[in-house]
Structures are given as C-alpha cells and as structure tokens.
Amino acid sequence: MIVVTAAACTHTDVVAPTKTMPPSFAVYVPPPGEGGVVCTGYLKGRAFGGPAGYIDYGYLCETALDIISPPLQAVYEDGHTGPYDLTVEFSRPVAHLVVMPVDIWNCGADPGSITAYAPSGASVTLPFTADESDCGVLHEEHNVYYYGDGTLPQSLVIPGLDSVSRVVIRPTSVMSWFSSVFYPDRVVTIEGFVGTVYLLSFREQVTTASVTLFKAQGPNDGGSFTTRSGENKLSLAAGVTPATLAPTIRWEIVDDPADAVVTFEPNGVTPTFGSNVEAFVPTQDAGRWAAVPHPGSLNQKSLALRVTAAIDASGTLVRSAPAIVRQDEIDTIREEYIELGVAQGVPGRGQFGASATNKGDYTVAVINPGFNSLFAALQIAVQPLSLVVNSGYRNPVHNAYHVDKGRGSGAVLDSWHQYGCGDDIQTFPVLPDFPTAAQLAAAQSYWDAVADEALSLGFEVEPRDYDPQKPHSFSGVGHVHIELRCPLAP
Amino acid sequence: MTRISLGSALGLLLAVPVGASGQNVDSLVGVLASPSVYARAQAVARLNLVPLQSLPSGARQALVQLLEREATGQVSYGETTGADDETYSEYVIDLTRGVLRLQDVSAVRGIAFLGIETSRAAQEFIAARGAAAIPVLDEVWTSKERARPAIITTWGYTLASTTNGLAPEDRAALLGRIIQAVAAYPIPAARAVRTASLFTLLIPLRQISDTATDPAVKTRLIAAAAELAPRMAAASATDVLAQLAAVIAGICRGASGAHQGTCASIQSLVTDAQRHIAAGRTNAAHSVLSALQQRAQAALSDGTLTALEETLVVENARLADSKL
C-alpha cells in the first residue's frame, strides 16, 4: 500500500460517487443443492472440506484447483499491469459452484465476469456483482472524514451447468485506485489494490469408490492356515476403484463373530496400507479346548478371521464385502497338536484321511500306511480270530479331554493313538464285571494270542497284567494296546 | 501322595520345546527325575525325538538308569491316576524304545525286567546278549511271573540268534525250559518254537492243539504247526536227529536217578542212529530208531519221561526213520 499525503484539501473537494445500491449481504452463499460434501478452496491449491469460514483444513477433498494461465504470479496481480484473466481447471468436475471474490473493489469499476465450462464444452458466462451501497457515502468519526469508494463483491452462483471443469475469471477492471482521508489538519491519500483472490466452493460428489477383496487366505491348501510358524501367514489382496486409492487401502482383521471360537487377531498387517499385505495369526489360547465337547463341531474349533479392506473415500469409509479366512478340518485338527504341544509334533496335511478306526472328533484321522499294513498282517496272522479295534485314532483334544477314564484306555499325552499308530484291540469274550474263571482264562488267552503275534510282527505292546508296585501300569485283559513309533511329518 | 494334574504336567513340558539344543536336552534330563510319571513320560517322548548323535552321554546314562530304576521298583509311584490310565504303560514302551536305540549293554537289567514285555526289539536285544542274559532272565522268571511269556519268547530269539555265541549247554538249557513251558504257557512257547525253528516239536504241538479247548490257544498252536510243517518236510533224517539230540539234551539237563538213566539211554541211541546214517548203514539206523521209540515208550511207562517228552522222542524217531 502506498500512502500519499496532500495538504490544503478538504472532504468537500472530493466528488463522491453518486450511485447508490440497495444493501446486499450475500457475501457468501453456500453451494446450493444437497448431497456430497462441501469443499472450498482458494486459488490455487487443494480444496478442503467445509464451507467458507468453516473450512476444515484437516480434511482434504478430492478436488484440486489449478490456475493454468497466466503463470502463478498472477494469482495476486500487481494492480498496475493487470488485470489478467485467470483460467482455472478443476482436477475433477464439480457441481454447484459458487465463486466468492475475496476483496474490495472500486466503486464504478467493472466487476468482471466468469465463464464456466462443463466437461461437454457447454459454457455459461455471468457477471460478478458487488454491493455498491457504500459508494459515495460520507463517513465521519472523530472529525475525520472519508467517502466510501469501495464495493463489496458478491458471491456468484454458477447455474445452468450440471458440472464444471474449468472457469475463466475476468477480474474487476480497476485493480488500484486512490482514496483520501480528511483529517482536520491534512489529507491522506492512500492507494488501494485489488487482489485476484477468489474462494471457490462447490459440492464434491462422494467418490464412487469400491473395494473388492481378491484374496484372503492362509498358505495351506484351500487357503487354510495354522498358528505354526510358516503356516500362519495370511495373504491379503484387494482391488479398488479408483485405482489411485490402492496405496491407501486399510485392512480390518477381526475374530469371526459368527462362530463359537475366540480367535486372537493378527497384530496389524504388513505393510500397514496397500493392496497386497500380509498378516500373521498369533499364538492362540490352548485353554479353549477344555470346553469343547466330543465330538463337537468345527464351529466350536476352527480358527476364523473376518477380513475387510477399506478406503477413505472423501471422508466416507468404503469397505469391501468381508471374507472369512477359516481353518479347514485338517488344519483344525493340526492346530490341536500345535496348541497342546504334543511331543511328537504336528502331522502333515497329507497324512490325514478316512479311517475305520477313527474314534476322535473329526471325520478324518491321521493315516499311517506302515501301521495299517502291519495291522493287516496281524489280522491275517491271528486268523481265524477277528480283530475288533475299540479305540484307534484319537485327536489330541479327544485324547486329553474326552477319553473316558472309567471305560477307555485313558489319556496319555504323547500317545501314538494321536498319530494313527496305536490301536486298542478288544479281547473276547468281553468280560462282565464279575467274570468266571473260565471267562477270564479265555480272555487272557485271546489277549496272549493277539499280543504274541503283534510283538512278533514288531508292534509294541502294553503289558497285560497288574504290577503291584504300579497300580495302573498295564492295559488289562480287556484290550491289547499295540503301537508303533511311526515316521513323523517333516 | 503327590497329585499332579494333567494340565500342570503338560504345562511343565510345554516349556521345554522339542529340539536338539544341548540346553533343552539337559532340561529334559532333569525332568526324568520328576516324581510325576506324566512329566517323565513327556520328557522321555521328547528325548526320543532327539537324534541319537545329538544325545549326550549324560542323557544316555540317565535313560538307562531310569529304566533300570523303574524296572526294579526304585522309582516312587505316587500318582493318582484314573483306573484305566495307561500313561505308565505307554511310558514304559517309550522308555524302552529310547533305551534300545542306545544299544547299551548296561541296559540289560532294565530291558529284561521291564522292556521285554513291550517289544520284540527288546526281546532280541536280550537274546543278542546270549549266555550273559540268561541269569538275568532267570531272576526275572522268579520275581515277576507276569513277564514269563515274554521270557519264553526271548528264549526263542536267543536260540535263533547266530551271533550270540551261545554254548551247547546253554542252548540245551533253553530248549529244556521251552519244552517245560509248553504246557503252562502254550502261546509263548509256540512262538519260541517257531522263532527257533524247532520243527521237532511239530507233532507234540499238533497233538496239544488237537485237544486244546481254548480257541485262542488252539489257533496259535495250529499256526505254529503250519509254519513248522514245511521246515520239517524239508529236513533230512540227519537234520531231525541233530535237533532231536539237542532237544533231548535240554530235557535231560540236570537229570538224576532213573531219569538220568533214561536220558543216557536215549541220548546214546540217538548218537548211534546219527552214526549209522552218516556211515550209510540204513538198516542199522532203522533198527536203532525203532529201539529209540521203544525206549521212550518204556520211559513214559516208568515215569522218567513226560508224555510230551515221550511224544517228542517217539514221533521224531519215527519221522527220521521215514526219511531214510
């Protein structure tokens, strides 16, 4: 601002503007219409959420406003060489555009105009208007006088176009002028400047964004997983529209609320955002198994996580349809070995199959061909006796929590029953609670016959009879427990 | 009485991960001294997973000593377990398995007293010791009646072994024990007969099976006979008499009085028959074998041979005669 001081001049020497206008107070008009979010931005830069005066600088709108001509210095013209038309493009079409000049213009000057262009090329040109009610108005305060010579520009609503992609602003014609202030002893003349500062408000459509999960799976067959190192890595992938948002995809992995299992959730994903991430299923609470009944359902046993991908679309969180990453039956069984820490380790997935001697909680059991072949040899060797297995495969939870100690052979933590390598063979006659001597002798002979052949073939066998020093140190005559140390899964 | 829950025992061992690091093995060895059979069982199961070459000598010694202490009642059994809880018996299988893989001769007592009931491998380990293990087996025979079937089976493996350097008198002793055991323990005795290929017992076993009423016993004897029959068929008269001589030596071991006289007589006749056959004197051999049958039948009458022994001598003499 330049201040020029002149003497011997009073306020009556100034020819005041004579045009008077009714007052108008439409300095700011919010974008008309409904929907979307209100965005406001100065030239040039990114629009922020919120109307003028309440701009939320923390929330970025999608749209950027870019002055493409003249070069950037014209944003604030010098008042002597301008005005220059400003051509502004929006990074994406906007609707309900309102342009608010942020300045004081000179009374009598041409307020300028704006031409708005739709993406189709259609355009509309509208003049700016200004509140001239102060023009020529004498102001006096403490014996200091001046005449109003500025107008208050009005917000301009751009009608007639559904969307606008570009505007050309023709600024007011007078970019600087002199104003005088009359003091009792002097006159001060001030040169005022007009800036080409415009505030553009519009309604930004909520991004039509979508997220689609492409992949949410563990490393095992069918996308299953366990908590064992190497098998607990979930691979997650999603696609997003628009694709530019892919780096911002965030992931939500929570316990599947639809089942009866509490699955501990991964501690975040790696990387934190993006379309392709990994998550690691943590160690679970082994205590959960104690409450699972026999045989129970997979809904009570299988670990499962609900995975959702999400993006922030202009302040609205858009989520994908959720995907459930769930252990299949085989990995659910294998999880028992992991969580119960069975000494011999975790059988491989390929070791499971259907078994006629499966007494566990699942439809599949660990199959050990070596054991089964030897068992077949045993069956042949003891002919015409016919072997009946009253307890074959037991999954670890069944072995640890369900085996009826009053009836079965009792739980042994590292039992080979858990590897398809242990069978309890029923002896005959099945003894009543109080057998006769003949019945007992017959059952003992049956036991001896089966055990004899089993030992000969290479099975290991529990002793039959009572050791006085160790109350429960034998299988009893009711069954022959045979087992093998089977090859373990790598 | 110490009561240790399944859960606490499990928790104790879960803290000791399966692995072969020295520190973990040392920790597991420490658990072998636990008063809890659950804990000991878990420690043994895990030690069995340690590759043999990674098992330090201290761990090996601890396993051998634990088996012997378990076998000889030196480990307290203070657990309150379910009526049909088989933790201990499966633990014994595991412990035996773990000791056997060491092939440590100092484990003979532990294996003999406890392990031989659980596996053929244990029985063969004892058999491989030959004469050195016989006194230990005798000790077990006396002190642990429930182990007798396993001992009889082990005798069979001892006789069958070609590498244990068993002397003829020890062989005779085991043959005699097996024949004596046939009546009371027919199933393990039949197994021993099969294992040692004692085809000279084929006909006695057939006779016993013919009269056996217990179907399980009957089927085992029939199975043994079925296995021995082709061996008998393939045997020459010389083979039959050689094994018969050994069997008679077993029957006659320690004989005294009239029994000794019978033994001397039939042993002499068998020797004569072998000599005649070797010299090609078939007619003489026929005569001697006929005399052997008559002598055995007479011994049955005077009570110096049992019916089984008489059958064994008579039928094998007749068989050898038929092969001439």
Output the DSSP codes for A9-21: --GGGS-------
B37: pLDDT confidence band, cut at 50, 70 and 90?
confident
Interchain pair A488, B49: CB under 8 A = yes
**Based on the number of CB atoms within 10 Å of its own CB, is A475 exposed (0-12), middle (13-18) or buried (19 or more)?**
buried
Q: What is the pLDDT of residues A82-132, one digit of tens each?
A: 788 889 999 888 888 999 988 888 999 999 999 999 988 999 999 999 999
Q: Which residue has the tokens 């001769």?
A: B105
The alpha carbon of residue B76 and the mean position of all alpha carbons in its chain are separated, in whole angstroms, by 29
Q: Does position B253 have pLDDT exceeding 80, yes or no? A: yes
Of B84, B214, B219, the CB nearest to A409: B84
Q: What is the pLDDT of residue B85?
A: 67
Lowest mean pLDDT among A64-73, A95-104, A141-150, A235-244: A64-73
Q: Does position B4 have pLDDT exceeding 70, yes or no? A: no
Q: What is the pLDDT of residue A404?
A: 55
Residue A105 amino acid letter: W
Report in angstroms the alpha-carbon separations of A411 from A300, A423, B12: 22, 13, 17
Q: Quick one: tokens of A419?
A: 């590897």
Q: Judged by CB atoms within 8 Å, which residues 188-227 of B form the interface with A?
A: 188, 190-191, 195, 214-217, 219-220, 223
Phi, psi dihedral angles at A23 (to 5 degrees): -65, 145
Of B77, B84, B188, the CB nearest to A410: B84
| Per-residue burial over B15-24, b = 16 or more CB atoms within 10 Å of its CB, e = otherwise | ebebeeeeeb
- Rg of chain A over CA atoms, in angstroms? 43
Q: Does position B123 have pLDDT exceeding 80, yes or no? A: yes
**Based on the number of CB atoms within 10 Å of its own CB, is A204 exposed (0-12), middle (13-18) or buried (19 or more)?**
buried
Q: Quick one: tokens of A290?
A: 């104690």
Q: Quick one: tokens of A77?
A: 């013209």
How many Cα atoms are found within 13 Å in the side-chain-facing hemisphere of B182?
29
Q: Does position B251 have pLDDT exceeding 80, yes or no? A: yes
Q: Judged by CB atoms within 8 Å, which residues 9-38 of B form the interface with A?
A: 9-10, 13-14, 18, 38
- Tell me the average pLDDT across B32-58: 91
Q: What is the pLDDT of residue B20?
A: 38
Interchain CB contact of B98 with A (< 8 Å): no
Distance CA A396, CA A338 (A): 10
Q: What is the pLDDT of residues A128-176, one digit of tens each?
A: 999 999 999 999 988 899 999 999 999 999 888 878 899 999 988 888 8
Of B13, B215, B220, the CB nearest to A341: B13
Q: What is the pLDDT of residue A167?
A: 94
Interchain pair A472, B85: CB under 8 A = yes
Got the DSSP string for A123-137?
A: EEEEE--EE-TTTT-
Q: What is the pLDDT of residue B234?
A: 97
Q: Is A356 strand, coil or helix?
A: coil
Distance CA A338, CA A289 (A): 12
Distance CA B174, CA B158 (A): 8
Q: Quick one: tokens of B69?
A: 């202490």
Of A460, A464, A465, the CB nearest to B119: A460
Check residues A204 and B24 and name the one with the higher pLDDT.
Answer: B24
For residue B59, give the nearest of B49, B70, B74 by alpha carbon.
B49
- Tell me the average pLDDT across A64-90: 73
Distance CA A255, CA A258 (A): 9
Of A407, A449, A469, the CB nearest to B73: A469
| Per-residue burial over A388-416, b = 16 or more CB atoms within 10 Å of its CB, e = otherwise | ebbbbbbbbbbbbbbbeeeebbbbbbbbb
Q: What is the pLDDT of residue A71?
A: 64
Cis? peptide before A233, omega within 30° of 0: no
A408: pLDDT confidence band, cut at 50, 70 and 90?
very low
- All domains of chain A, ordered by start, with CATH? 2-204 (no CATH), 210-326 (2.60.40), 342-483 (3.30.1380)
Residues near B153 by Cβ (< 8 Å), separated by ≥ 6?
A: A452, A455, A456, B116, B123, B188, B191, B192, B195
Chain A residue nearest residue B146, CA to CA: A465
Under DSSP, the state recorded for A401 is: I
Of B91, B153, B216, the CB nearest to A455: B153
Interchain pair A410, B119: CB under 8 A = no
| A368 close to A351: Cβ distance less than 8 angstroms | yes
Interchain pair B123, A449: CB under 8 A = no
Q: What is the pLDDT of residue B184?
A: 94
ipTM for the complex shown: 0.90
Distance CA A58, CA A37 (A): 14
Return the axis-axis angle of helices B148-160 and A437-457, rounded to nearest 10°.
Answer: 30
Distance CA B54, CA B102 (A): 12
Chain B residue nearest residue A408, CA to CA: B84
A466: pLDDT confidence band, cut at 50, 70 and 90?
low
Interchain pair A411, B85: CB under 8 A = yes
Interchain CB contact of B91 with A (< 8 Å): yes
3-state helix, strand, coil in chain B (%, to 5): 75, 0, 25
Distance CA A49, CA A37 (A): 7
How many Cα atoms are found within 13 Å in the side-chain-facing hemisphere of A448?
30
The alpha carbon of residue B136 and the mean position of all alpha carbons in its chain are separated, in whole angstroms, by 12
| Per-residue burial over B186-207, b = 16 or more CB atoms within 10 Å of its CB, e = otherwise | bbbbbbbbbbbbbbbbbbbbbb
The alpha carbon of residue A457 and the mean position of all alpha carbons in its chain are separated, in whole angstroms, by 59
Q: What is the pLDDT of residue B36?
A: 85
Distance CA A317, CA B118 (A): 66
Residues near A336 by Cβ (< 8 Å), separated by ≥ 6?
A: A289, A342, A395, A396, A397
Got the DSSP string for A434-449?
A: S--HHHHHHHHHHHHH
Q: What is the pLDDT of residues B157-192, one digit of tens each?
A: 999 999 999 999 999 999 999 999 999 999 999 999
Check residues A140 and A57 and name the one with the higher pLDDT.
Answer: A140
Question: Which residues in chain B are contacts of A474 at CB distance < 8 A?
Answer: 89
Residues near B84 by Cβ (< 8 Å), separated by ≥ 6?
A: A405, A406, A407, A408, A409, A410, A472, A476
Q: What is the pLDDT of residue B84?
A: 60
A 10 A CB-CB count for A32 gives 13
Q: Quick one: tokens of A468?
A: 């006085």
Chosen from B90, B155, B185, B197 to mutate, greatest number of chain A CBs within 10 A: B90
Q: What is the pLDDT of residue B21?
A: 40
Interchain CB contact of B46 with A (< 8 Å): yes
The size of the A-B interface in CB pairs under 8 A is 164
Interchain pair A415, B90: CB under 8 A = yes
Question: Which residues in chain A are contacts of B215 at CB distance < 8 A?
Answer: 385, 442, 445
Q: Does position B315 have pLDDT exceeding 70, yes or no? A: yes
- Tell me the average pLDDT across B68-80: 78
Q: What is the pLDDT of residue B82?
A: 57
| B133 close to B108: Cβ distance less than 8 angstroms | yes
Q: Does position B66 have pLDDT exceeding 70, yes or no? A: yes
Laid out side by side, the sheet with A138-141 consists of A2-6, A187-193, A176-182, A144-147, A138-141
Residues in chain B: 324
pTM of the model: 0.72
B317: pLDDT confidence band, cut at 50, 70 and 90?
very high
A18: pLDDT confidence band, cut at 50, 70 and 90?
very low
Give chain A's mean pLDDT. 85
Lowest mean pLDDT among A199-208, B45-54, B170-179, B248-257: A199-208
Distance CA A275, CA A247 (A): 6
Question: Which residues in chain B are contacts of A383 at CB distance < 8 A?
Answer: 219
